[in-house]
Chains A and B, each alone.
Chain A
């Protein structure tokens, strides 16, 4: 089986080699001339560049001299534990029945470990510390200085704090992170939430690794004396919100912090943020209540980020809620593309292309819809069946991207 697979792959590789076009002599010479010109530009700094480099050198040397002369040596921050002992390898473990313990730092910051928690100070610098929360819950109060840099590692998550008060809970077995923001700002990085999820005062986030979900709401923080999340239940389960149930309200204060609009985020390439917001809000709510520009942005974000099912859902919502809009017609075409590429259902894709062509015969994607339909018919039925489509395509789009294929078919 493996040998046959290898042989098939080798033949396909041979096909790729045979299909590689040879460059003409003219192409080769033109390319060489271009390269020589580019490399010439790179050779040796110009007089102006040399002068700029000299200025830069003087500035850097001045700054270095200043720093060396005036900067006081900085030592790693000292810390001690109040209310518990430091065990082997620096661990501080609090029994479920025991009182909370404080890790007190010289800069005035402190970390309170709740009953049932276990953590350690991994390292300290002059401006911050790295505290590892292996299990349980910690209230973190960081005194803000100019270069404060604190990190709370909780399982696979890193919570970066620059001067704030927050509570972090990590349930190791349930692989669930909870962060309640009391004041200031912080960011969370790790599975599901991405590289940097910014949080502001009053927000609560729950990230469940197993389920791959993130929820942002305004659930109140638990009291310090409350037991930390057990190893078998998530922090959110252990500490319900004010209503006693998980908060799913899309209008919860996650919107309290002014955030860029979805179209702006998509334009900036931040698809993950849009998807994260939509997940936090609830997809059903977002597709049912968001305005048209937001839905268009969400659909784009879903496509670019590789969530075709969500994209289809969003485009279907656009067609249902805004049937007369141009976006509704475009949505038909895009649904067709997703079905063709992701679902590999050419028949269904053709129906969506037909829908688009009927709704927007002169639309921006008319050529593409007709071209894709032609290709599918050629592939799934026969080149003969695709010939009328090819002729139609050539008549309408003689220089279109599918013109070469259409000419092949029309012959």
Chain B
């Protein structure tokens, strides 16, 4: 009889690494992490956070754009994960499950942002305080302009664009993460790409970037 996953983890020991791939073999697999989380094992929070905080933070940043403090949202995503991990059918799908929660959280934040934009214009995403980025002013301005263009898309188009081009997901993965069919995601992406690229071409700074002359 094999030992429970928690015992296996204790024996294996865990080396903290946010970028570690669960298939590397020197730590718990995603399925084991999910099992620990389901069992409310006290180590689960540390293990899941160490592995995925960086990834989820990046997804939130790239979806929402600069000017957002994503740390609170990051907490929401992980708390949501621990609340709902019991509904995860395939324990090896921890990563897409977590990214799915991140996307829903980002989407909610985008909705709130739209309302705030009109109520109090300090969080409109159009002119952010780029606190944490190390980019030069010109790049920051280009990024700000790009997100102003993304603000013109609807949420689904925006998420599709980010998943495909910023996160580098394949079309099928993008479709799965958005919960739509492949045909739908193709249509949505085509619309998003057409709009974004057209607006980028009109913009001197963005077109410099896309034509590789920004440096």
Contacts of B145 in A (CB 8 A): 379
Which residue in B50, B83, B135, B165 is a CB contact (below 8 Å) of A13?
Answer: B165
Are B129 and A401 touching (Cβ within 8 A)? yes
The size bracket of the interface on B is 35 or more
- Given the contacts A35-B75, A39-B82, A405 and B143 also touching, CB distance less than 8 Å: no
What residue of chain B has the Cβ atom nearest to residue A20's Cβ? B61
A67 within 8 A of B: no
Using known A-B contacts A19-B135, A20-B62, A408-B137, determine if residue A12 contacts B75 with beta carbons closer than 8 Å.
Answer: no
Q: How far is the CB of A57 from chain B (nearest CB, A)?
A: 20
How many angstroms between the C-alpha atoms of A372 and B82 in the bound complex? 42
CA distance A79 to B115 in the complex (A): 50
Q: Is the CB of A23 within 8 A of B146?
A: no
- Chain A residues near B130 (CB, 8 Å)? 404
- Docked Cα-Cα span, A35 to B37, in Å, equals 13
| Contact present for B161 and A9 (CB under 8 Å) | yes
Decide if B210 touches A404 in the complex (CB within 8 Å).
Answer: no
Q: B5 at the A/B interface (Cβ < 8 Å)?
A: no
How far apart are the CA atoms of A274 and B50 in the complex, in Å? Answer: 48
A371-411 interface (Cβ within 8 A of B): 371-372, 375, 379, 400-405, 408
**In the complex, how many angstroms separate the beta carbon of A407 from the nearest chain B beta carbon?**
10
Please determine whether A12 and B122 come into contact, CB atoms closer than 8 angstroms. no
Chain A nearest CB from B131 CB (Å) reads 8
Closest to A4 in B: B197
The docked-state distance in angstroms from the alpha carbon of A322 to that of B166 is 49
Docked Cα-Cα span, A334 to B117, in Å, equals 11
Per the bound structure, the CA–CA distance linking A212 and B8 in Å amounts to 62
B34 CB-CB contact with A under 8 Å: no
Choose among B46, B135, B197 the residue that contacts A8 (Cβ–Cβ < 8 A).
B197
B167 CB, min distance to chain A CBs, angstroms: 8
- B83 CB to closest chain A CB (Å) equals 7
| A10 is an interface residue with CB less than 8 A from chain B | yes
Chain B residues lying within 8 Å of A19, measured Cβ to Cβ, are 66, 133, 135, 139-140, 143
Please tell me if B200 contacts chain A, counting CB pairs below 8 Å. Answer: yes
- Residues in B with CB closer than 8 Å to A304 are 115, 118
B104 adjacent to chain A (CB < 8 Å): no
Encode A2-27 as 1/0 by CB contact (under 8 A) with B.
Answer: 00111111111101111111110001
Contact: A31 with B49, CB < 8 Å? Answer: yes
**Distance between Cα atoms of A368 and B129 in the complex (Å):** 14
User: B46: which of A9, A32, A401 is its contact (CB, 8 Å)?
Assistant: A32
Interface pair B161/A371, CB less than 8 Å apart = no
| Distance to closest chain B CB from A134 (angstroms) | 30
CB distance from B154 to the nearest CB of A (A): 10
B50–A32 contact, CB under 8 A? Answer: yes
A12 to B201, CA, bound (A): 11
Contact of A15 among B79, B134, B142 (CB under 8 A): B142
Cβ B18 vs Cβ A44 within 8 A? no
A368 CB contacts on chain B under 8 angstroms: 121-122
Instruction: Tell me the bound Cα distance from A337 to B165 in angstroms.
Output: 30
* Alpha-carbon gap, A44 to B41, bound state (A): 11
| Distance of A11 Cα from B196 Cα, bound (Å) | 12
Per-residue contact bits, chain A 246-263, to B (CB 8 Å; 1 contact, 0 not):
000000000000000000
Complex CA gap A129/B75 in Å reads 47
Instruction: For B123, list chain A residues within 8 Å (CB).
Output: 401
Any chain B CB within 8 A of the CB of A105?
no
Chain A, 38-53, CB within 8 A of any chain B CB: 38-40, 42-44
Say yes or no: is A264 at the interface (Cβ < 8 Å to chain B).
no
For A42, the chain B residues whose CB sits under 8 A away are 40, 79, 82-83
The smallest beta-carbon distance between B165 and chain A, in angstroms, is 3
In contact, B46 and A15 (Cβ under 8 angstroms): no
Cβ of B53 and Cβ of A32 under 8 Å apart?
A: yes
Do residues B71 and A31 form an inter-chain contact, with CB atoms below 8 A?
yes
Question: Which residues of chain A are near B62, meaning CB under 8 Å?
Answer: 16-17, 20
A8 vs B133: C-alpha distance in the bound complex, in angstroms?
A: 23
**Apart from the given pairs A9-B196, A12-B200, A304-B115, 8 other A-B contacts in the complex at a CB distance below 8 Å:** A9-B161, A12-B196, A16-B62, A22-B132, A27-B71, A368-B122, A401-B121, A404-B128
A residues adjacent to B (C-beta < 8 A): 4-13, 15-23, 27-28, 31-32, 34-36, 38-40, 42-44, 300, 303-304, 334, 337, 365, 368, 371-372, 375, 379, 400-405, 408
Q: Give 3 closest A-B pairs by Cβ, nearest first.
A: A13-B165, A21-B132, A401-B122
20 A–B pairs (Cβ distance < 8 Å), ordered by A: A5-B193, A5-B194, A6-B193, A8-B197, A9-B164, A13-B167, A15-B146, A16-B162, A17-B62, A18-B139, A21-B132, A23-B53, A31-B49, A38-B45, A43-B42, A371-B127, A372-B121, A401-B129, A405-B127, A408-B141
